[in-house]
Amino acid sequence: MPNIKSQKKRVKTNEKQRLLNSSFKSSMKTAIKKVSLAVEANNIEEATVALNYATKKLDKAQAKGILHKNNVAHKKSQLATLVNTIK
Contact 33, 79 (CB under 8 A): no
Domains and CATH numbers, the chain: 5-84 (1.20.58.110)
Contact 31, 53 (CB under 8 A): yes
How far is it, in rounded angstroms, from Cα 58 to Cα 46?
18
pTM above 0.95, yes or no: no
- pLDDT, tens digit (0-9, with 9 covering 90-100), for 26-85: 999 999 999 999 999 999 999 999 999 999 999 999 999 999 999 999 999 999 999 999
**Residue 87 confidence (pLDDT):** 65
- pLDDT, tens digit (0-9, with 9 covering 90-100), for 14-26: 999 999 999 999 9
**16-36 burial by CB neighbour count: b if 16+ within 10 A, else e?**
eeeeeeeebeeebeebbebbb
Contact 1, 8 (CB under 8 A): yes
Q: Which phi and psi angles does 67 have, rounded to 5°?
A: -125, 150
